[in-house]
Structure 1
Amino acid sequence: MSRCLVIINPVSGGGAARRYALDLQWKLSTLFETIEVKFTTGEGDATRFAKDACERGFDAVFCMGGDGTVNETVNGIAQGGFKSTFGFIPVGTVNDMSRALGIHQNPTQAIKRININQTRTIDIGRCNDKYFCNNIAAGVIPKVIEEVTPKEKSILGPLAYFLRAGQALFTTKDYTYRIQTENDDFICKSPLVLALLTNVVSSFERFMPEASVDDGYMRIIIFKEYFILDILSVLPLIISGAIYNSRYTTTLTVKKAHIELLSNIGDLPTNMDGDQGPSMPVDIEVLPRVLKVFAPAKHKKKKALNLPILPHI
């Protein structure tokens, strides 16, 4: 008997998840013999639900929500031993993971296009004792964006991140890090350090065009000390996918890294897939092709570019 757990975050997308919940349940009921539906009410619910489903032998775990809900659900599947295939419908503010996998951004279309015969096995990252799907970042912008409240997201949508990020333009503090990888060991100053598993950051779908969800590597992008002050020159490079080989960044392609904060500023949490992650120091590594996902076999890149929304790092 095929079984599927459906996890729905009812507040995602300003409550949009509730509007599509029945459509998703109906679609999955045509694909699985048994479905079970659970709604989250607080932090950690999706992780707990997904882990329990894996341990109970569910064939699939779907979630409907934003990047935070996706992250929590994947953490649960990871804790459950990656025994269930993962699927999701994006209804969040930015939806980086769905962009990286070629899943339609319109929830109705994404539901219609669910095909349990189309799967990919992708990489995920581990940071200390937690897991991430897309990115983990530390520095000025993540610290400012961390202050975005659920109410601001609900009222302003992606504009909330843009306004908070604008505050970083006036906060040019650099942090000193020690970064150790399998190939390097060095100290650097940077306002923003980003570890990335996919080609997408903050809805910028060409941020790291050479990256793939299943290549077994992560890219650590170290932004130079002056990039925030020259933001008007940086934005076109980000949009065109040229930031990674510009004078504003240093990029490392690695499988694991230890990042330690040397600045004496107290606690500096990271931002993981859009929500608060572990504090420094962090040990991060790629777990290659461990997560089976319902998604198109190959993401066809868009020919036309739309101006993305800033930022959700």
Structure 2
Amino acid sequence: MSRCLVIINPVSGGGAARRYALDLQWKLSTLFDTIEIKFTTGANDATRFAKAACDDGFDAVFCMGGDGTVNETVNGIAQGGFKATFGFIPVGTVNDMSRALGIPQRPLEAIRHLDINQVRSIDIGRCNDKYFCNNIAAGVIPKVIEEVTPKEKRILGPLAYFLRAGQALFTTKDYTYRVKTETDDFICKSPLVLALLTNVVSSFERFMPEASVDDGYMRLVIFKEYFILDIFKVLPLILSGAIYNSSNTTTLTVQKAHIELLSNIGDLPTNMDGDAGPSMPVDLEVLPQVLKVFAPTKHQKKKSLI
């Protein structure tokens, strides 16, 4: 008997997750023998629910929410030993993970196209004792973006993040880091450091075009000092997928990294998959193809874009 847990964040997408709950329940009822639905009411609920489902032998764990809900659910599956297959319906503001996997952005379309016979094994990143699906960032812009309010997300969508990030144009604050990887050990100054598992960042689907969700690597993108002053030169490179060739960045393709903050500023939290992450220092590692997820295969994804 197949069993499926559905975790719903009722506030995601301005309440959209609750509106589509019955549609998802009906679809999954045609695919699984038993369905259990749980609604989150606070931080880390999705993690607890997902881990318990893995421990109880559920075959699949779905969630409906934004990138933060996806992150929490995947953390629970990871803590449960990656025993359940993961599925999700995007109803958040940015939805980077669904963009990277070729899952439709409209909830009803994503539900309609859900096929449990389409399963991919994708990479997951580990940061200290937490896990991330898409990216982790440190520096000026992540701190500003964390100030985006739910009301701004609801009204402006992804634009809310760009407007907040624009506030960083008025500062040239750089932090000093020590970065150690399998092959490098160096000190650098940077206002923004990114570790990416996929090609997508903040809805930019061509940010790192050579990256894949299952290639076993992450890309460290270190923006150089004062790049913010050249933001209008950098933005076209981001849009065209050529930022890794920019003189404003250093990009490393690695499997592990240790990043330590040398600036004497006290605490510097990271931003992980759009929400608050661990503080510096951080140890990063790619866990290759450990998460099974219901998503179009590479061939099917390419075909759907034609």
TM above 0.5, one fold?
A: yes
1:129-168 paired onto structure 2 within 5 Å: 129-168=129-168
Aligned to 2:78: 78
Q: 1:138 to 1:25 in 2, by over 3 A?
A: same
Q: Distance in 2 between matches of 1:120 and 1:101?
A: 9
Instruction: Tell me the secondary structure at the aligned position of residue 169 of structure 1.
Output: helix
TM-score (norm 2): 0.97
Q: CA deviation at 1:225?
A: 1.0
- Between 36-45 and 160-169, report the one with greater CA deviation: 160-169
Unaligned runs of 5+ in 2: none
- Equivalent position of 1:300 in the other structure: 302
Matched, 1:26 2:26: yes
State the match for 2:43 in structure 1. Answer: 43
Task: State the Cα RMSD in Å.
Answer: 1.2
Aligned to 1:195: 195
Deviations 1:18-75 (A, max 9, x none): 1111000000000000000000011100000000000000000000000000000000
More displaced 10-residue stretch of structure 1: 14-23 or 150-159: 150-159
One-letter amino acid matched to 1:139: G
Deviation at 1:226, TM superposition (A): 2.4
The range that moved more, 142-151 or 203-212, is 142-151
Shift of 1:125: 0.2
Letter paired with 1:220: L
Tell me how far 1:300 sits from its aligned partner: 2.0
Once the two structures are superposed, residues 133-173 of structure 1 have per-residue CA deviations (whole angstroms, 9 ceiling, x without a partner) of 00000001001101112232233322321221110111210
Counterpart CA distance in 2 for 1:302 and 1:284 is: 33
| Cα separation, partners in 2 of 1:247 and 1:302, compared to 1, 3 Å | farther
Distance 1:303 1:296 in 2: 12
Q: Is the 8 A contact 2:158 2:203 kept in 1?
A: no
**What are the equivalent positions in structure 2 for 1:51-200 lying under 5 Å apart?**
51-200=51-200
Alignment partners' CA distance in 2, 1:185 and 1:159? 36
| C-alpha distance in 1 between matches for 2:279 and 2:118 | 37
Alignment of 1:188-267 (within 5 A): 188-267=188-267
The 3-state SS of whatever aligns with 2:20 is helix
Distance 1:210 1:113 in 2: 26
Displacement of 1:302 after TM fit? 8.6
Q: Secondary structure at the match of 1:208?
A: coil
Q: Distance in 1 between matches of 2:21 and 2:170?
A: 41
